[in-house]
A and B are shown apart, each in its own frame.
Chain A
Amino acid sequence: MSEFEPVLLANIGKEDSHTLKVYESSGGYQAFRRVLKEMSPADVIELVKASGLRGRGGAGFPCGMKWSFLPKDHPGPIYMCVNADESEPATFNNRILMELDPHQVLEGVLIGCYATRATTAYIYLRYEYPLALKRMQGAIDELYAAGLLGKNILGSEFSLDIYIHRGAAAYICGEETGLIESLEGKRAWPRIKPPFPAVEGVFRKPTVVNNIETLACVTHIAARGADWFKSIGVPADPNNPRDAGSYGPKLYCVSGHVNRPGCYEAPLGITCRHVIEEFGGGVWKGRKGKAAVPGGISMGLLTEAEWDTPLDFNSLAKVGCLGLGTAAVTVMDETVSMVDYLHNCCRFFAHESCGQCTPCREGTSWALRMMERIKAGKGRLKDLDLLLEIGDTIGIIPGTTICGLADGAAWPMKNAIRKFRDEFEDYIKRTNPNGYMETKPVEALEVIGLH
């Protein structure tokens, strides 16, 4: 594993790595030129299917399959939405790709649009990324100037325009149908499915929504082939018929209480401990690790004992986490209070819930208010059961909400309380020695602003 040579980050570190000149000097856009010349769109879809590439945005849906859901022989237009609304806390791999190697991403967009016959691509860019906006727009301008975007690219039948749409900083806009609604100028309330975006997406036309990193991977699959891609990572688990394997390179972000936070590339399937020890340089200040978030806070929590879990699409569910998510590892050392951790998670999701579905809207804000009360020293042991009940009730996994935001809100509650119940109970008993056993309704706290 140590001899793994970075693919997605290969250009990063070069001077002016964001320019077309530097990108092309290392073979950039050769894959796209070859695809355009030699392959049909259906061939590209087959290639991506064969590579086993799964979406890097969080859900891990097989990318080639998503493309093949588009209606055949549709008169068009077909749209591609590039999800660059990277808003999962502690995740910054898309930002590095967009800021330092935008052409790698745009080549993937070109290949993806060619495969899906999309003639317009919208890059939905997170508001907080001004440098990414500048670099991406600069790269797009370079492509137009070089004849790689616009009408009849390189003399072929293929035409493509790319527009950047800047979001307004809401977490829910990263949900694919929330993104579509927001792109259409509406409130980002995720849509009910069916119809799926592949059938009826942006402006009621067939649409594919792909993550930045997924499209960067497409570039390399087109350049090096499906077999090369499949040689990296973890094959499908024979005991789990729903696992489609975890192939290819992955950008792992590591942050929190480590010595060297940053974004590192590794094959899918390395362990969480590897990310923390080898990439992150271990827990900082010589302290012991306590827990780590495996893939953005919505994925749940790994205790230090679970750090040997491989970070791939299949393994995390076995230790009770929601999934790989964005593979953004956040490390907490032994000084971190899990009560603080959970309070912070609850505050984030209560703030970001779009408010459409009752269980999520009210469940997240109720959980936050309970955590505020526990933190204020008015906690009761029965609150923990209530928090678990909320966690078990809300989300698309039980089927009570439209989108997965509520699952993301539920998992930190479920993992933190189930894995660190003793700590929560100790905290409540210590801070509320006279009332922790109380089960009768207590006088309510005044609600002060939650924002």
Chain B
Amino acid sequence: MATVYINNQEVTIGDNERLNGIQAAARAGVQIPHYCWHPGLSVVASCRMCLVETGTRNPETGEVSMFPKLVPACQTPAKDGTVFITDSEKVRKARAFVEEALLIDHPIDCPICDKAGECLLQDYHFEHGQPERRADIKPFTSRKRPMGDTVMLFVDRCVMCSRCVRFCREVTGTSELMVVNRGAHEEIDVFPGKPLANKMSGNVVDLCPVGALGDRDFLYEQRVWFLKRHKSVCSSCSTGCSIWAEENQDRIYRLKPRENQHINKWWMCDEGRYGFHYVHDPKRLIGPQHRPAQGGSKGEPQKVEWEQVFNDLPQALAKGGRTAVVLSPFLTVEEAYLLAKYVRSINSEALIAVGHVPVVGTDETFPGGFTIRAEKCPNRRGVEEIAKHFSGPLTSWPDLVSKVAAGAFDTVWVTGSYPHEWVDEAAAQAFAKVPQLIVQDIFPSPLTEQANWLLPAAAFGERPGSYVNHADRLQSFDWVVRPPQGARSEGSVYWRLLGESGLFRPKEVLREVAAEIPYFHLAADPIPELGVDLKLNQLAETAAGPSA
């Protein structure tokens, strides 16, 4: 154990931890302002905002010998006996000078800047800056130019922290961004004809401590103080990045990565970041439809009320005959469990299959360690385990389609909620002969045209619950926005069909799942913010032997 002294506080640091002054001070609740340092990037110590005084405390005499110069806290390791003084007059003056210097050429166009409200330059100016502007220099105008399809550079707002440049070199390995010119004329730029076009480009906007890099998808959409941020999990691939979903009045405006060292560190990919727009697509299905059987053929679809669904559907299922349920990998663990449980409560022989698992290309791992998975769904692992629990050996989507085509079922309940078209004409034709087809989905498709019961469902951000990623890590999240009027989240539908009272309470369901299914045992306790690793449980079981 090492003891570090922050102003007058003692902080202990573990033997295997290597912290710098900024991190050690944070342990003591002391914030050292900084621009260029980021825990996920190399240290350049160039912004000089984190200057502190440092020294060493003699363990025997308790005497402190101070280093005569200011040092950047980001570059100074916290060792046993290291002393950091973060609030002396000398430190305050140096910070004020840096903050003042950064504002000399800054256009101070906060009223039209997307970053206003979450800008370090603003925050630090109020906390550490000079009381008045002493530089009588007319600032540059606000020049801007695109760096690529995703990012706009507002040249004069830049503080040259070089985070974005280092990100493209160290994390994506694509090196599109660079610094051009020298001294106060420095600018961030790309090489002509080589725009910022990597698959993680949006991260540079999050990294930018000021308003220099704007997200073109989000630009001028919202003032950030109107946004409410919710902890969520990205559903674009089976990595399952921890994210912040930011919304205002039931509309999602942007997604940002939420630090999770177990999964995505500080990053997320552009596919996930900009992939939420389908949620607000005007083509979304709204309002349930029923197509009563007319003789041998399916009749015309009729709009029905949800109350009618809840009244009539149980009876229809009870008379359904041979039944199959398809669990979409976009369902949460809780929803998949409730659906399987509900249908099994009516028909104990019902087959529980796993829906279509979309795979695009191959996994793509970047030099910084981040992986975009080819499997474009968030919860294959979760629904597989649920299906296995109820039906034993897995039935995959292609298996099920061929069984359906062979006329093996009288009733099939298909869940979808895929962000893109997922079922083709051929597969849909297989379902044409199913006497009773229940489809829960969000977009019209060849399959929804066949449905006897069409139940508009929830998209990303509209459902609460838990996802299990490719590495068996379970993360829980709450809903971010409500489904459009007329659509209902799958979980709330099953909850109602099961006759439960009140609102859908996924935490209760997850506790039940954890108690019922060994794979989910570790999900019994409240799920921590960063999720739980379900594999740890499996390891314990393997160690204890198959008898357990």
A contacts, CB < 8 Å to B: 170, 187, 189, 192, 350-359, 361-366, 369, 373, 386, 389, 393, 396-402, 441-447, 450-451
Contacts and interface: CB of A to CB of B under 8 A. Distances in A.
B137 interface: yes
Interface string B40-66: 000111111101000000000000000
Interface stretch (B94-102, B269-277, B284-292, B378-386): B94-102
Given A187-B179, A358-B98, A399 B44 contact: no
**Which of B48, B182, B183: most chain A CB closer than 10 A?**
B183
28 contacts: A353-B182, A353-B184, A354-B182, A354-B183, A355-B186, A356-B44, A357-B48, A358-B101, A358-B102, A358-B159, A359-B94, A361-B183, A364-B184, A365-B104, A366-B101, A366-B137, A373-B136, A389-B97, A393-B97, A398-B69, A399-B51, A399-B69, A400-B48, A400-B98, A402-B46, A442-B136, A443-B136, A445-B136
Interface string B180-206: 011111100000000000000000000
Contact of A441 (B71, B75, B133, B181): B133
B524 interface: no
Nearest to A382: B134
A386 B160 CA distance: 24
Nearest to A193: B75
Nearest to B94: A400
Given A359-B101, A443-B136, A401 B48 contact: yes
Nearest to A194: B75
A355 B183 contact: yes
Contact of A445 (B46, B102, B137, B184): B137
A365 B49 CA distance: 18
Given A358-B48, A359-B94, A450-B185, 11 more contacts: A192-B75, A350-B184, A353-B182, A354-B182, A355-B182, A361-B160, A365-B184, A373-B136, A386-B134, A393-B94, A399-B69
Interface string B65-87: 00001110001000000000000
Interface of B: 43-49, 51, 69-71, 75, 93-94, 97-98, 101-102, 104-105, 132-138, 140, 159-160, 179, 181-186
A356 B102 contact: no
Contacts of B160: 355-356, 358, 361
Contact of A170 (B101, B134, B182): B182
B18 to A, nearest CB: 14
A362 B184 contact: yes
Given A358-B46, A358-B47, A359-B97, A399 B70 contact: yes
Q: Which 3 pairs from chain A and chain B are nearest by CB?
A: A399-B69, A362-B101, A365-B184
Contacts, number: 112
Contact of A351 (B44, B134, B136, B183): B183
Contacts of A445: 136-138
Nearest to B70: A399
B70 A400 contact: yes
Contacts of B182: 170, 351-355
Contact of A446 (B46, B101, B135, B138): B138
B183 A396 contact: no
Nearest to B103: A362
Nearest to B46: A356
Contacts of B51: 399-400
Contacts of A393: 93-94, 97
B209 to A, nearest CB: 12
Contact of B45 (A386, A397, A402, A444): A402
Nearest to B182: A355
A402 B71 CA distance: 10
A443 B137 CA distance: 8
Contacts of A446: 138
A18 B171 CA distance: 51
Contacts of B105: 362
Contacts of B97: 359, 363, 389, 393, 400
A192 B183 contact: no
A359 B93 CA distance: 12
**Which of A359, A441, A451: most chain B CB closer than 10 A?**
A359
Given A355-B160, A359-B98, A447 B137 contact: yes
A350 B51 CA distance: 23
A446 B51 CA distance: 33
A398 to B, nearest CB: 6
Contacts of B49: 358
A307 to B, nearest CB: 31
B94 A364 contact: no
B94 A444 contact: no
B44 to A, nearest CB: 7
A390 to B, nearest CB: 8
Given A187-B179, A355-B184, A192 B69 contact: no
Contact of A451 (B93, B104, B179, B185): B185
A444 B137 contact: yes
A450 to B, nearest CB: 8
**Which of A397, A442, A447: most chain B CB closer than 10 A?**
A447
A192 B186 contact: no
A398 B70 contact: yes
A350 B105 CA distance: 14
A362 B135 CA distance: 11
Contacts of B132: 441
A446 B160 CA distance: 23
A192 B137 contact: no
B45 A192 contact: yes
A402 B136 CA distance: 27
Given A192-B75, A350-B184, A366 B46 contact: no
A3 to B, nearest CB: 43
A173 to B, nearest CB: 11
A352 B46 contact: no
Contacts of B102: 358, 362
B183 A350 contact: yes
A352 B185 CA distance: 11
Given A192-B43, A358-B47, A362-B105, A396 B69 contact: yes
Contacts of A352: 182-183
Nearest to B45: A192
Contact of B137 (A358, A361, A369, A396): A369
Contact of B46 (A170, A357, A369, A373): A357
A398 B71 CA distance: 9
Contacts of B186: 355, 361
A398 B94 contact: yes
A180 to B, nearest CB: 15
B51 to A, nearest CB: 6
Contacts of B135: 366, 369
Contacts of B159: 358
A450 B181 CA distance: 13
Contacts of A358: 46-49, 98, 101-102, 159-160
Contacts of B98: 358-359, 400
Contacts of B179: 187, 355
Contacts of B136: 373, 441-445
Contact of B138 (A192, A389, A444): A444
A373 B138 CA distance: 12
Contacts of B181: 355
B46 A399 contact: no
A5 B133 CA distance: 58
A361 B43 CA distance: 19
Contacts of A366: 101, 104, 135, 137
A441 B69 CA distance: 32
Contacts of B48: 357-359, 400-401
